[in-house]
Amino acid sequence: MTDTPLRIGIAGLGTVGAATLGYLTGENARIAARAGRALRVDAVVARDRTKDRGVDMASLRWFDDPIAMASDEGVDLYVELMGGADGVAKASVEAALAAGKPVVTANKALLAHHGAALAELAERTPGASLHYEAAVAGGIPAVKALREGLAGNGVTRVSGILNGTCNYILTEMAGTGAAFGDVLAEAQRLGYAEADPTADVGGFDAAHKLAIMAAIAFGRRIDFDGVRIEGIESVAAEDIVAARDMGYVIRLLGVAERGAAGVSQRLRPCLTPAESPLGKIAGVTNAVMLEGDAVGATILTGPGAGGGPTASAVLADIVDVARGNTPPTFGVAAAALTPADDGANDADRGAFYLRVMLEDRPGTLAEVAAALGRSGISIHRMRQHDHADGAAPVTIVTHACDLAEIEAAKERIAALDVCTASPVSMRIVES
């Protein structure tokens, strides 16, 4: 073990930053022994110098400017835990890499939007490297498993439950029968959801993670704009009940897979068997399923957020830096990453669940069936549910069809006089 310390600068002392600092001080000897090198937090950046973070910070150098700290000669490793796709987070990471320093970040938005450019900067600058285990699935070591553990595999599919807030909401809706809005309010009260929950329930947080994993899995440039994103706002209590009656649960699933048209990326609520590996994941837990030609399918589960779990991933990257373990950012050289596959998301074929709200009068089901037929869709099963007012919920499961056919059918049904609300569809995923 070398006595020359790795001097660390941490930008951001929120939940994750404070937890990381706490472990690096309280458990320093144990972590340093595993790293094979002395570790020392030397400098920090935070908005509030007076806040009690449970750690003695009197000996630390305080900076007001993250970019200045990232460029400081007394900082060997820059740890960015501020968040944000642009602004000072991006500028400070670029400054550290340009100065030939390794960077550890938990910033999924930054990587999803600028990961390829940052990887190129890191790989052409001697001494620089970019590490981001904490940006994907919190404490689950998904990046290392995909980039290193499965390096010998031809990966065919990456999927998972990538947002604990959404999984909590869907699990509670199923368990209590409550409406989406009521469960969201409870999630906010418990601290599982932000005051503005758009990034979570709209699917954007999980889509950032999916785009990063797809880049590693398939050796392609990050293509966040190419992710087809649908959140869980339209999932209703009747969808939960209908899914349960058929032996399914509803989960917000991210799926990236290689097909004949290229690599597709989709983040949307799906029906999956209740007894499947992903169907059993409940509450705020995350899960990542990786499928390769040699290993088959393997699944990793654990906490996807929180101070301790995310700090665990940050610490793993710090140990890698101390050991000199700096693999290519996305598994292959940045210059070798292939372009995104335009149009691959349209090649989505399978069974779909469809819910329509119809006026309760004779002939309505025949009109819906005709609209589906004109769209080339065959009905596997159809059910009209009990209702107390004039609008009857009808749920339909199709035989295998194309996504474009489902979208065309929804437009035709929405245009019918008997339809009282926009139709809702969800893909049925059997594994």
Residues labelled as active-site residues = 209
Q: Quick count: other Cβ atoms within 10 Å of Cβ 407?
A: 13
Give the separation between CA 217 and CA 331, rounded to whole angstroms: 8
Which residue has tokens 């409550």? Answer: 178
Hey, which bits of 50-128 come out as E strands?
A: 61-63, 77-80, 102-105
Q: Which two tokens stand for residue 428?
A: 């049925």
- CB contact at 8 A, 367 and 356: no
Amino acid at position 89, single letter: A
Classify residue 4 as exposed, middle or buried by CB count within 10 Å of its CB (0-12, 13-18, 19+): exposed
Relative to beta strand 61-63, strand 228-229 is: unpaired
Cα distances from 290 to residues 155, 295, 299, 317, in angstroms, run 8, 9, 6, 21
Give the separation between CA 132 and CA 147, rounded to whole angstroms: 12
Q: Which SS3 state, helix, strand or coil, does residue 173 take? A: helix
Which residue has tokens 């797809």? Answer: 214
- CB contact at 8 A, 8 and 41: yes
Distance in angstroms between the alpha carbons of the first and the last residue of the chain: 46
Angle of helix 15-26 relative to helix 28-35, nearest 10 degrees? 80
Q: Which SS3 state, helix, strand or coil, does residue 212 take? A: helix
